[in-house]
């Protein structure tokens, strides 16, 4: 793609601006920032029995079964712990989620609420019309990053052995901005440990 040639007036203005700029002294280039890797660190496996990690873990179900949902609704199943990820970036949130799940398994806790937040609405403008004349529906909407990522993390190789199922929480517990997470009581290869 070729650059558009400046008009004589624009060229004169550009020269006037560049004459006011003082170049920086020779400085060494800054060090490269470390690459972010979200799934690089694995859980500390020494604290949990090796049977949790043996074989292929069944992926968690993205919906709670009726029995568990009814128990939560009727308050016959307690929410043992709440993890609030508000204000965290992806690295912090992933680390906190892994630690919370691991600690819950060690403590024999079964039901968590993970609060992700609904995510701020970000609007992007398309080229079809001017901004002031457009309706809200004409903008692209993107949900929160953590709201999208937490289900993927729960199904990841590190967390799938521990997670039985997860589902959007009821309005009483945060609605679309939170997830119920039900942990396995036994390793995923064992029968009878998922309820």
Domains, the chain, ranges and CATH?
A: 61-119+142-188 (3.30.1370.110)
Q: Tens digits of per-residue pLDDT, 34-84?
A: 665 544 444 444 556 666 666 556 777 777 778 888 888 878 888 888 899
Q: How far apart are CA 98 and CA 154, in angstroms?
A: 9
pLDDT tens, 147-184? 889 999 998 888 888 888 898 888 887 787 888 999 88
According to the 3-state scheme, what is the secondary structure of 4-60?
A: CCCCHHHHHHHHHHHHCCCCCCCCCCCCCCCCCCCCCCCCCHHHCCHHHCCCCCCCC
Hey, which residues does 178 pair with through a beta bridge?
115
- Check whether 131 has a pLDDT greater than 60: no
Give the chain's end-to-end CA distance (angstroms, integer). Answer: 61
CA distance 181 to 166: 4
| The pLDDT of residue 86 | 84
């Amino acid at each position: 793609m070729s650059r558009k040639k400046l008009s004589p007036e624009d060229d004169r203005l550009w020269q006037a601006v560049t004459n006011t700029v003082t170049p920086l002294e020779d400085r060494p280039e800054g060090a490269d920032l470390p690459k972010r890797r979200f799934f690089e660190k694995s859980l500390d496996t020494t604290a949990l029995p090796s049977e949790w990690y043996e074989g292929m873990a069944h992926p968690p179900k993205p919906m709670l079964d009726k029995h568990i949902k009814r128990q939560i609704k009727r308050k016959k199943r307690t929410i043992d712990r709440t993890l609030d990820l508000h204000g965290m970036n992806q690295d912090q949130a992933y680390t906190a989620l892994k630690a919370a799940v691991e600690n819950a398994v060690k403590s024999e806790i079964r039901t968590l609420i993970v609060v992700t937040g609904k995510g701020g609405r970000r609007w992007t403008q398309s080229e079809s019309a001017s901004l002031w004349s457009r309706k809200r529906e004409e903008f692209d909407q993107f949900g929160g990053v953590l709201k999208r990522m937490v289900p993927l993390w729960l199904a990841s190789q590190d967390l799938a052995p521990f997670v039985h199922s997860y589902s959007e929480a009821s309005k009483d517990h945060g609605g679309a901005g939170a997830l119920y997470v039900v942990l396995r009581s036994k390793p995923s290869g064992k029968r009878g440990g998922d309820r």
